[in-house]
Each structure stands twice: as C-alpha cells, then as structure tokens.
Structure 1
Amino acid sequence: MHDTLARRSSLAQLAGLIKLMRPKQWVKNGFVLAPLIFSGEFLNSHSISRSIVTALLFCAASSATYIINDTADIERDRLHPTKSKKRPLAAGIVTVPMAMGLLALLYGVLVWGWFLEPKAVQVIVAYMALNLAYTFVLKHQPVIDIFTIAIGFVLRVYAGATALAVPVSSWMFVTTLCLALFLAAVKRRQELHQSGTEGRKVLEQYSLSLVDRYAEMSATGALLFYSMFVMSARPQLIITVPLVLFGLFRYWYVVEKLQGGESPTDALLADWQLLMTVVLWIGICAWALWPVARGAA
C-alpha cells in the first residue's frame, strides 16, 4: 500500500512538473517558423532543422519564464479560486525546490542551444530578460503589460529569421505586433469579464470598453498590414487575405459567444473551425510559395 501511494505521488509530481512547463502554450512558438515559410526555405532540410531547433529552444525559454512567474505569484495564486487548483505550485503538487530543479534543467538546455544557434539564443535571452521584467514590474503597468506580451511574439519571429540568416519584411514585424496586441487585449478583456479585477492587479486600470477598442484597433491593423505585406512582398499570397479575415471574425465569435480568449491557445485548440483556418492558411501559404521554395532549394 505504501509503495502504491508513493508511486502515485511520484506520478502526480511528474505530471505537475510537466504542467508547470505549460506545454499547450508551446503552440505560440509556431511564430518562430513564420520566416521559414515566407522566405521560401521550407524545402531546405538544413533550414528546417535550424528552425525546429530554434522553436524548441523557445519552448524551453517560455517554460522557464512560466516557472519563474508561477513561483513569484505562488501566494497570490493560492488565494485565486481557479489558479489555486490548476497551477501545480499553488496547489501544492510541486514544491518550490522541485520547480527550481526543473528551471535549472531548462537553463541547461538553453546553454546547450547556444552552441547550436548562438545568434538565435541571443534573441531568446532578450525574450527571457523581457519576461523577467514583465513578471516583477511590467505586468503591473497598464498598456505596457499588453505591449510586453506582444513584443514577445515579435521576438519569436525575429529569432526564426536570425536562425536562417534571412531578412524579414518590416510589414511582417508590424503585422505580428498588431496580431499579438489583438490577442493580448482580448486576453485582458476576458480576464476582466470573467473574473473581474481579482485575477490581476493591473485589471483595476482597465475597462471592458477600453480593451474592446484596443482589440478592434489591433485587429484592423493586423489585417491592414498583412494585406500590405502580401501585396508588396509576397503577391502570391493574396488569396490568403480572406482566410485571415475569417480567422479574425471567428476568433471574435469564440470570444463573444463561447467565452474563449482568456487563453488564445485554448481558444485555438478548442474550436475546430479556428484550428482548420490556421491549418488551411499554412497549407495555402506553402502551396503558393512552392515555386519560390524550389528555386531556393
């Protein structure tokens, strides 16, 4: 009986450590692969391997930031009705020393990654520094907190471009920024709508009407700048513009009617139409840029 309980406790701790890394959030690191697609390098095996390694290193870095964030917020999370049960540290499933051991392991992975992709890891280090500032200071500053989240996505794209040593259109950067601002604004909206100001102190500085305007402005900017990027740099992708528009419409539907959006990753994975839109967009981009990729290969 004692062995069985010990085994169950060990399995629960292992599951807690995995959950602490938030593997579902690794979907966000797909932004690292954007330069691979748009540069037409996706038929080059060397470029593919470098992009995948960079994305995996970003997964390690983002998991490390989640561990630091959860450790810093452990007492506040224990008072939260949902986070006290869902977050392993707050729930007592994982101890702080265990979390620190996992953090050291992830840092070790990043040190190893430095020897593989030194330039990309420099960008990742900047991302981690930004998130440290976010955890302890910036997440309490209205508007700055939203922009900090968005800049993290821009750094993902930049890391992917750096790994491939390819230039990235300025339109792509500003499109990524606007899209990320949209997702961050919607996240704050749903947190405010569903939990009031209890979830985050910074929510006291926002209102639903304000973050709605932020989201609308960002979504409009994302569509406008993406269209300009396509027309100026990749006219083959003009057929993807309606798909992007549908994706924005569908995401708003998920937010308004299905009460999603507090976690963009959960919203994407839970709605088959939204997920299919992303898959189709990737597929059409690859198909439209296939001649460019063959020429590059």
Structure 2
Amino acid sequence: MKGMIDLKILQYYKPTNLEDAYQELLKDDNNLIIGGGAWLRLTNKVINKAIDLELLSNNKIMTTNTDYEIGNLVTLKEVEDHEGLKRLMSGILPKAISKIMGESIRNIATLSGSIMGKYSFSDVITPLLVMNTRLVFYKQGEVSLEDFLHTKKSPKDILLKILIKKEVGTGYFHKVQKTSLDFAVINLAITKGSKIDIAIGARPSIALKPVKAIEYINKAEKIDELIIDETVIHVLNEIKLGSNNRASDEYRKELVKVYLKRGLNEVMTDEN
C-alpha cells in the first residue's frame, strides 16, 4: 500500500568478535550493523543480514582528561542523564535529546545509531556538530563527525565510540516542532568556546555548518548587534532550506532568523 513503511530483515547474526562482525558486514551490500533500531523501523529497507553487536558493544560513558567517550551501545537516555554532559556547553546535547519523542524511544535509540543513520530529522547531530565530535571506527580509526557526514555513502565499518572534546564554553540549542512527539521543523545549535560554531538541522536535509558565516563572525573584533544581524544574513545565503510536509522554505527562513539571532545573543550574554 502506498505510504506504508516496509522494513524486511532476512537474516539475523550475532558475531562473537569484531573481525567476525566486520567480515560479515563486507559480504553483502545489504548487510547492516544494527544499533537500538528505533529509527531503522521508519525506513523502507530490505536487510539481507542484521548484525547485532550486543555481545561486543560498549554501553559505557567514560571520562578522560580531554574527552567524553561514549560507547556504541549507549542509549540516548543515558546521554541525557549524564551529569558531565549536562555541564558541557550549557548541556545542549542532553537538552536536545530531551526533546526527542518519548522516554521509551530514548531508552531504545542509541547515540551511535542516530549518527550512523545520517537522519535528516536528527536532533542529536546538530549539537554534536558544534561540540568537536569525533567518531572512532574499527578499521578507519578516528574521523571527525563533519567529515563523516560529508561522505555520500556511509563506510562499511563499525563505529566503536564517539569522542566529544571537553571544552569550556556556552551553548544554545533550539528545536521547533508542531507537537512534543513530532520531528523537527528546524533545529539549530550554537557554541562559544575558543570560537563560535553554528549548525542548522532538519532543513529538512541533514544538519550542516555554515562555514563562511562562521568565519565571518569569528573574524569580527567585536560582536555587536550589527555583526549578529550580518551573520544571520550570511547563514541564510549559505545554507539551503527546503520545503516538505512539515514546513515551507520561507517559514524555515523566518524561524532561522529569529532563533539564530536569539541564540547568538544568548551565548554572548552567558559568556559575559
């Protein structure tokens, strides 16, 4: 029937070591590593073999001198409740997660699955983009989140953990949605640590950083209302906004104008 979601999994496999999992992944283009599976069920896919890493996965959040290390089986709810992450950049990552669906979904969905899916509606990719986030893969090693998102096709690899740099600074996240259980009409995140960083998500495409606008605001000797207004214009000229069944591109532009300006003012005020 038109409009129905039809996810099919033909085989299910539980490897006992990472190399076994990796080799199974390579055997067929339609073999797939599964995380929590909360978002996978929203896709129309035929998966030849679902590879479950339950026996191999890391469900811990570790703290080092420089980073938070989030294992590949850590749920969104566990990230949301983590005290250290609540203090990092004004807690924008836990705040963003708290806006996602209901608690039952957040107890199932994993942070790694939310990243690997490259979902355009994602509320977690947007704040992660402005938090110096790196991904550690089994074969590729460490890759920045931004570089990973720029690849058209996700690599045939296994995400082991997510690294988020510890940095002193302030942050802002805002999501516009029609109801508390709906996907975002638009979302945006801003941080101010050693520099100002901006990301716009649910455009309705996947989140992006307006690189030229970020360069512009960071070159300013003094960030005042004029610089903030000009930055908003640069962002709207640089980031492509589209229309879908949730909102028109014009409506999204108006939302970005309002909340980007509000967010930039907020991170500058909090710093002072």
When the two structures are superposed, what TM-score results if normalisation uses the length of structure 2? 0.29
Which structure would you say has the larger RCO, counting Cα contacts within 8 Å and 6 or more residues apart?
1
Judging by fraction of residues, say which structure has more helix.
1
> Which is greater in Rg?
1
Q: Tell me the TM-score normalized by structure 1.
A: 0.27
